[in-house]
Structure 1
Amino acid sequence: MAGAVPLNRLLTGITVLSTGLAPAVAPTLPGRLSSSAVLVLTLGVVAQLAATFVISRWHHQPHLGFAAAAAVSGGLVLAAPPWPNLIAVGAVAWTPVALGWAATRVFEYARSWYQLVVAVGSGAGYLVVVGSRAGAGWSWLTAVLAAAVPILGSITVMLGLRLRQARRDQLEALARQRVTAQREAERAERERLAVEIHDTLGRHLTLLVLRANTLTLMTDDPAVKLAGSQLSGFGSAALADLRRLVRLLHKPTDSAPGTRRASEADGALGPDSGRNSGPDSGPDPGPEMVARAARQLVAEARAAGQSVRLVVLGTDLLLPPVLVRTVDRVVQEGLTNARRHAPGSTVEVVVAVADDVEILVRNSAPEPGSRTEPGGGVGLTALRRRVELLGGHCESGAEPRGGYALLVTLPRVRALHG
């Protein structure tokens, strides 16, 4: 719209200047201009200026501007001398300029059938007047076609400009789509990589640190204690570096869930799919797999010195592989968080399988004086996104008596039939 204002002013100036051609040519015509001829010439110029004002100002009613231009042009054809003589020598430049400009404004700003009907009717009336006054050597058809050239030519030019701009807009939109798709693919890859790093290296490094701490407590050898302490320090430093790397890779997105469903499916199901996962071709004997996977995680935690109690309910029901992996991921996240943030706490893991699958991982408050590690929340964020992708619900937070609880609910029936 900013570019339309200078163009409107330019066309207004050109149209106003074109009104001066007829008065400039009139004195050169054969014969002397009478006072009545001067008056008719002046009235015609005033009418042209008035129609120019309507065209330039009333862009919200373009049919009125075209009707004014057509009425003045037809009036000049029917007017008394010297206008017929000036039209014959081609001195009335205002007519093609004004009609062409008004036609383009109708094409650009008309918003209703009424406006189009008024504009078409005005143009047809002007062409009828021109055809009825065709001079010697000019047939009515030739006169009408000559009068219609400015109107049709301006519309043709406008259509060409519109098509050219539409082509540019289409190319720009395609370029933006390619850039957006590339950025989305890069973002999805970063998130998948962040989740995979967090789920694999984070867990093993945490177990390494706990084993090193257990080693320092179980021996009286100063050299072994020093080695265990150093190993624990190296592992803690590696965990801190790993968290910084994951924060750099994992960037939250504000896009709608539907636009990221495909990319998140790979990120949600891929990182730990290589362990305790069966084929994805149908439902497996899931509860037994859940119990086996949960017991393996609990055994690893107990070997690292963690106090864990496991309860599995509903072992006679079936679970699809995708839920088996998700339950495994929830238990793994809960145990890892308890080791990091509540050393020495007692952890309870409950897996209940019914119409819905509920996983509860609850730990007590950490031992007084124990060293806790700050968390970045990346693991819970990735887990929540995975659960929501399956239509489930994830809650986590501190408990009133101290400690922390992670509760996940997954719809088993939807996963079986979805």
Structure 2
Amino acid sequence: MSRRGVYDLSMTAVAVVLGLVWLWVARVSDGEEEFAPLRFELTGLVVAVLLFVWLRRSRPVLLALLVGVIGIALPSVAGLAAAALVGVASRRGARWAFLVFAVDAALILSLFQDEGGPTREYWETAAVLLMADLVLVTAGLLLRSHRALIRSLEERARQAEEGQRLRVEEARHLERERLAREMHDVLAHRISLLAVHAGALEVRRGASEEETRAAGVIRECAYDALEDLREVIGVLRAAPDADPDADRPQPGLAELGALVEESRRAGAWVDFTAGLPGDDPGRAGRHVYRIVQEGLTNARKHAPGARVRVTVGGGPGDGLSVELTNPAAVSGGLPGAGAGLIGLRERVDLVGGRIEHGWTETGDFRLRAWLPWRP
């Protein structure tokens, strides 16, 4: 059985039990008053239960009117009548709830009046019944407001999750564009060298006709590849959020010292340790530069005034490793969405590396990455 079915069954059972209790109290407390035979009470209760199950969600106003009329004559239906009135207020709002309340009030004031005119007992009974109906209407309206609040909070949570997902996708997209621009510069340089060497082979003295023709084909293909690369990078750089520094040479390991000095001039405390050979690691060096740059930026934003330890090492056989560590902020830092770290993970994953970040047992935040050495 579904959750809704269990809820409806439970509410029906509680309403029936309340009605039977009310019938027992009425018969015990007022033995002189004439009541309908018990078989009529039970028959009316069964009919009310069937109406309640059938119309509770689809026709709550009609249900409240029908069960309310039956409940005035049969005390055993009082619980179902109360639940139906709460359902009108919670599902149809205040206007319909007070309309049903007015109908119930008219029935109570007209049917409970004695032949000799209104008495004190009559007014007391009518006041109690009307106050009970008002309490039921108020409870239904509060339930309606609670449901609306829950739906609003769920929608806000869904929108927040969707916004975070879009921010993550945007960060990945921007990082891939930046990687494409960097790869363009490297590939363009290598293809240009290929075209130059092919041109030299084409005009080399003593080359056979087949060699000259093959060198010419290689040179033409290299030029075509360069043109295709220019078109691709032109599309990327034509985007509204394109990097204005895309045409500049991409920094690498050689520029790490300047990057650290720039952070120190900005007021950061940076301890920089580098143990690297003189070989060029190729694009891995550019990725290390970006990782250190993002790590120092995050430290300035989220832990201002904290000392940052930067360690870079590795070699052709071991790969490149980089680690940045800083303690927690002494004063409150700026909030962030984590888009920079998402971009770093995208960058490292694309080159087959590993990256991890988080808090250590000593209370420091650590960003650590490893990249393969590929000259």
Please state which band the TM-score falls in when normalised by the shorter chain: 0.3 to 0.5
TM-score (norm 2): 0.46
Q: Which has the larger radius of gyration?
A: 1
TM-score (norm 1): 0.42
